[in-house]
Structure 1
């Protein structure tokens, strides 16, 4: 489909969506490319501004496009996929996709835990925890804003560490804390002003909120992390199997 049919069963915005989708699939529009403006699409296809905007917005919501305030709409890069059946670190996920992980440390300090950390880490209200806040990158592009609270004997020594590296690898190799399992929650949301600023996305863009409690041996919680991921750059994968129904005797 390279032109719109003005008389037909398919709405014009849907036809335009499929035309733009085909351009991506054919490689005519590549990841990172700036797509034509609404005005240019209107002139090219003889449609209204509202029709063009609806087609673009739906492809943004599907993750094929992303907007940058003041710059325009771009073709999204391939999403990072994280499977949900194995406990992996951010660094491991990004490397598995053939990309270069990066980290900007925003905060590293000992602090008094908030209610969520007290509950998840099973600690007393006055027990200091190590608080680490980082911006996580993939090929130098912001992907996630991560806040971790850690509690274990000697956690204050993390203040002296290079926290730009994989935290999980550091805990396992240097601190002798085998990370064996985790509980993870996912929730859809929209980016706040601060989150949008760090992730370089428009305020109100779709994001994924992830909360994870990671345990060492004997079901002892060691980390409670809250992360915000760019919705158009990250997806989660899980393979589901249905229990076999018992045959009636």
Structure 2
């Protein structure tokens, strides 16, 4: 399958196709993926393109790289299972109405390799980082670190992040005159860490609900990567399942 130049960058096209092959069970957990050279030949792309696509899959936890050996499909964690659910983006964002944002900082020259991988940028890319503390009933409930590509971040102002009840991504949409088409969210257990603990009134080793979130434009570009640490006793995540009316 040769990739074609177009509005979607080649490395993102490659990332999507490799992800589909992994999720489609062409490769099993622990399987060795084709070498970088072989992937270059299969898709007609450069090694830099291949490495950027593989780095993005590594950041998503789908593959692991072993120095001097190659890239492997990640093994499922013992006792852990990943479940994918789909729903309405508008309904998902409606939950932000209960949160009261407390703006902490906006930095335009931040670096975060994990965020850069989600945004499909080089590890050392300069990013715009917004840090927020969200409250429920006046009590700190979530600490957020939100990253944007610098071409997006340069258009944002601190006032964009200070309106209660308005999700950050909606404020970004208005400022840039764009519309997000989908989002991906991963929820897992984590620890507060030094910075979040100080804001959430926790100890650094205390458990938190850790959420990693990415927002996509219709052309596939990731416009925002967010890392959210929720206070374990002030926030819960509830999903309602309804029976199929056609049954």
* TM-score, normalised relative to structure 2: 0.54
Q: Secondary structure at the match of 1:157?
A: coil
Alpha-carbon contact 1:112-1:126 (below 8 Å) kept: no
1:135-174 to structure 2, matched below 5 A, reads 135-151=133-149, 153-159=151-157, 161-165=159-163, 166=166, 167-174=168-175
Structure-1 separation of matches of 2:94 and 2:117:
28
* 1-structure distance, mates of 2:86, 2:102: 25
- The gaps in structure 1 that reach 5 residues or longer are 1-82, 244-249
Contact kept, 8 Å, 1:149 with 1:224, in 2: the verdict is yes
* Residue number in structure 1 paired with 2:88: 86
Structure 2: how far apart are the matches of 1:208 and 1:184?
Answer: 12
1:204 CA drift (Å): 3.8
Q: Deviations over 1:82-108 (max 9, x none)?
A: x9723359973143xxx4x32222220
Structure 1 length-normalised TM: 0.54
Q: Is the 8 A contact 2:114 2:123 kept in 1?
A: no
RMSD: 3.0
Q: Which has the larger radius of gyration?
A: 1
Structure 1 pair 134–128 and aligned structure 2 pair: CA distance change class (3 A): same
Indicate the residue corresponding to 1:207 in structure 2: 208
Q: Secondary structure at the match of 2:172?
A: helix
> How many residue pairs end up in the alignment?
157
Distance (whole Å) between structure 2 residues aligned to residue 112 and residue 193 of structure 1: 18
Task: Note if contact 2:131-2:145 (Cα within 8 Å) is conserved in structure 1.
Answer: yes
SS of residue paired to 1:85: coil
Which runs of no fewer than 5 residues in structure 2 stay unpaired? 1-84
State the distance in 1 between where 2:96 and 2:126 align: 31
Task: Return the alpha-carbon distance in structure 2 between the equivalents of residues 91 and 138 of structure 1.
Answer: 16
Q: How does 1:109-188 map to 2 (within 5 A)?
A: 109-125=107-123, 127-151=125-149, 153-159=151-157, 161-165=159-163, 166=166, 167-188=168-189
Where relative contact order (Cα < 8 A, 6+ residues apart) is larger, the structure is 1
* Correspondence for 2:236: 235
